[in-house]
Amino acid sequence: MSSIRIEGLTRRFGSVVAVDGIDLDVPDGDFLVLLGPSGCGKSTLLRMLAGLTPPTAGRILLDGRDITATPPRDRDLAMVFQSYALYPHLTVARNIGFPLRARHRPRAETAARVEAVAGVLGLGGLLHRRPRELSGGQRQRVALARALVRDPGAFLLDEPLSNLDATLRTATRAELTELHRRLGSTFVHVTHDQVEAMTMATRIAVLDAGRLEQVGTPAHVYDAPASLFVAGFLGSPAMGLVPARLESVDGALHARAPGLDAPLGLADPGDAGRDVVLGVRAEHLVPTDAPAPGAARLRGTVRLVENLGSEEVAHCVVGDGDGAPRVPVRGPRPLRLAPGDAVTLTTTPDRLHLFDPGSGRRLVAAPAPVLPVPA
Ligand SMILES: Nc1ncnc2c1ncn2[C@@H]1O[C@H](COP(=O)(O)OP(=O)(O)O)[C@@H](O)[C@H]1O
Ligand SMILES: [Mg+2]
């Protein structure tokens, strides 16, 4: 059982700031997913937790104890790498038992632990094979078993599923989630895959260019993205974004742009004239011939319709002219839209997201009808 606290953690490589002053709490038993694009600093952050990369600045606390300078083997953390890093010349049994042998545990205890852990991960019949005689999924499970065998306080997993094919990835995802539930241990899992993050995490930490953009439950991060970056990174298709301007219409605030009129359900606190970016998710837009009064309306043209099997996604251009923004709409198949169709899309004000175009930060319209002006 372990809680991890990260304070002002920074790592530079020459002029590159790989991890930039991150503060983060991982409570005991959490399944925290570090999510972000390639190169955003996920592996560097994880390697600092494991003790494999020394930080340039900041502290790491494990159960309240400062372990920033503690060598990896004394950290009660187990790391699983994307590449599995198995010993090719050792059998599965000896690979799994390696951390116990390295700690000179009694032979009988090691054998019993290896057998128990192999059973949990369905490796019982493979104990005498070598890594090259295993599939990718089996190798990945051996790497997990080797981490599990020590019963560490926390698991650090760096893209452990990314070498698996799609079917195996989905199955192993479910296995890992189940394992976390059964063990109740703390997991820190790195991935660039938003579906992995949404399905496995108890909390997601979104990273961009070494900085923490947002931390929250999958629902929170999806439903209330803190920035344009998070809004664009989570969700498939990505959230539709339309540059707009706030206008006062009979004292009520609207976001308007060519083809767009969106009442925000707010009295105008004096923000009229301000530029914003309006965001709306594909599943919250509905094509209609008769928009309800008070509904947000986006008028445009269908450019492309994608068939996803049970659903369709229609990519629509809002307004017209070169560079007009594109907004996807998603719904049960058939949507009854075809390329070239003129379309009106509607949604309700509570489905709208507003962002500051300069900072990219979310503008919050609650609790009072006041949009905070960025400093
Ligand atoms: N050992 C290193 N030497 C120099 N630069 C590095 C090293 N490790 C990582 N970086 C740089 O730090 C940044 C973050 O890398 P990394 O943590 O591997 O990102 P991610 O795991 O999110 O893809 C990248 O710009 C990468 O090139
Ligand atoms: Mg990485």
Q: Which stretch of 182-186, 195-199, 205-209 has the lowest confidence by average pLDDT?
A: 182-186
Does any domain span residue 369?
A: no
Q: Which one of 186, 208, 230 terminates a domain?
A: 230
Q: Is the peptide bond before 218 cis (omega within 30 degrees of 0)?
A: no
Does any domain span residue 358?
A: yes
Is there a single domain that holds both residue 38 and residue 19?
yes
- Protein residues whose CB sits closer than 6 Å to any atom of ligand 1: 13, 16, 18, 36, 38-44
C-alpha dihedral sign at 75, 77, 78, 81 = negative
Does any domain span residue 99?
A: yes
Structural domain boundaries, residue 23: 4-230
The b/e string for 77-97 (b: 16+ C-beta within 10 A; e otherwise) is bbbbbbebebeeeebbbbbbb
Does any domain span residue 306?
A: yes
Is there a single domain that holds both residue 330 and residue 204?
no
Write the CATH number for 350: 2.40.50.140
Does any domain span residue 368?
A: no
pLDDT single digits (tens) 208-263? 999 999 999 999 999 999 999 999 999 999 999 999 999 998 888 999 999 999 99
Best mutation site among 9, 12, 16 for ligand 1 pocket (most ligand atoms within 8 Å of CB):
16
Name the pLDDT band for 367 (thresholds 50, 70, 90): very low
Calpha distance 195→65 (Å, rounded): 34
Q: Which one of 205, 230, 255 terminates a domain?
A: 230
Which residue CA neighbors atom 5 of ligand 1 most closely?
Answer: 13
Is there a single domain that holds both residue 206 and residue 248?
no
CB atoms within 10 A of CB 245: 15
Which residue CA neighbors atom 27 of ligand 1 most closely?
Answer: 39
C-alpha 43 to ligand 1 mean position (Å) = 7
Is there a single domain that holds both residue 263 and residue 286?
yes
Does any domain span residue 374?
A: no
C-alpha 253 to ligand 2 mean position (Å) = 44
Is there a single domain that holds both residue 218 and residue 261?
no
Q: Residue 353 pairs with which residues in a beta bridge?
A: 279
Decide if 161 contacts 126 (C-beta within 8 A): no
Does any domain span residue 371?
A: no
Write the CATH number for 82: 3.40.50.300
Is there a single domain that holds both residue 224 and residue 341?
no
Number of domains in the chain: 2
Calpha distance 140→186 (Å, rounded): 19
pLDDT single digits (tens) 316-359? 999 987 889 999 999 999 999 999 999 999 999 999 999 999 99
Does any domain span residue 187?
A: yes
Is there a single domain that holds both residue 214 and residue 65?
yes
Which residue CA neighbors atom 12 of ligand 1 most closely?
Answer: 18
Average predicted confidence (pLDDT) for the chain:
92
pLDDT single digits (tens) 166-185? 888 888 888 889 889 988 99
- Give how far the C-alpha of residue 241 lies from the chain's centroid of Cα atoms, to the nearest Å: 20
Is there a single domain that holds both residue 205 and residue 124?
yes
